Amino acid sequence: MAQDSLWLGPLRKPMRSAAIGFGAVTALIYAYLIFGQFAFEDPIGMHEMIRPAGRPLVAVMLLAMLGTFLCTSIYLSDTKGAIESAPDGFFDVLSLITSRMAMIMTVAIVLVMFYEVVSRYVFSRPTLWANELSLWIAAFVFLLAGQYAMQQRSHIRIYVIYDMMPRWAQKSSDVLSTVLIVFFAFALVWGGYDDAAARFARMETFGTAWDPPIPGLLKPALLLIISLVAVQAVSNLIADWKKAPEHLAHDEIDEVEIENIRKTLER
């Protein structure tokens, strides 16, 4: 059953159509590249996929993949799972979009590793890129998952002492923890910006046979996503300021999870 739109509204269907359109273009180009592995003398492989210079077809495929990725993530962020809290403001929506990116990336890791296992153990042709690509994607999943956890308030929070505090003390604790998060993000960006900018400027590579630009992209992404986590923490503080303590201290999701477990066991 279709769910109501959370924030896209009338743009929900066009976004879905855009995701399907970009996906179709990606699939067609991919099929052509697979055909080229057998029909062309100079086929395009994974080595060229991260070096699109002089190969317009590769550039078009990468843009189509990016369009599919972004449009699908935006479309999926417009639905709320049973164990998710609804977004409240722009930064919550942004965190939901990046969480869907992480979910899609997780599926991509599974597909890459499945391809590697089949290629290695069935056809005895191990790849030079599967392990590095999975590590590359997993690094972004790890970072984006932190932003999602902050938005959902599902990070580690110890309520034993917090619940015994009066409301003014709870608010003071919330402010202190947010200040510490923001200070950590500021210190990380302050100390790592020059190194990240230098790595990105020369698009530093991994130094392997496939040689992907993992350091050149991951270090700037680290600073960017940590900054988004800090912004999300501030957004949470503002959104939760006038909420009653029980809205923060009790997890109503457990009942849904328990019911799902019961249904699974009944099968």
Task: Using DSSP, state whether 176 is helix, strand or coil.
Answer: helix
Residue 104 has pLDDT above 50, yes or no: yes
Residue 142 has pLDDT above 60, yes or no: yes
* Lowest pLDDT segment from 12-16, 86-90, 232-236: 86-90
pLDDT tens-digit profile of 70-85? 999 999 999 988 778 8
Q: What is the pLDDT of residue 247?
A: 47
Residue 262 has pLDDT above 80, yes or no: no
d(CA 156, CA 158): 7
* Lowest pLDDT segment from 5-9, 19-23, 102-106, 212-216: 5-9
Beta carbons of 23 and 69 less than 8 angstroms apart = no
Residue % of the chain over a pLDDT of 70 = 93
Residue % of the chain over a pLDDT of 90 = 63
Mean pLDDT computed over 48-57? 87
Task: Using DSSP, state whether 108 is helix, strand or coil.
Answer: helix
pLDDT tens-digit profile of 156-185? 777 778 888 888 888 999 999 999 999 999
Beta carbons of 234 and 185 less than 8 angstroms apart = no
Mean pLDDT computed over 206-227? 94
52 CB contacts (<8 Å, ≥6 apart)? Answer: 58, 59, 62
Give the confidence band of 55 by pLDDT, cuts at 50, 70, 90. confident
Residue 68 has pLDDT above 90, yes or no: yes
Q: Give whole-number Cα distances, 246 to 102, 147, 174, 241, in Å.
A: 30, 23, 15, 13
**Using CB atoms within 10 A of its CB, is residue 252 exposed (0-12), middle (13-18) or buried (19+)?**
exposed
pTM value is: 0.86
Q: What is the pLDDT of residue 249?
A: 43
Mean pLDDT computed over 112-141? 93
Give the confidence band of 141 by pLDDT, cuts at 50, 70, 90. very high
d(CA 77, CA 84): 11
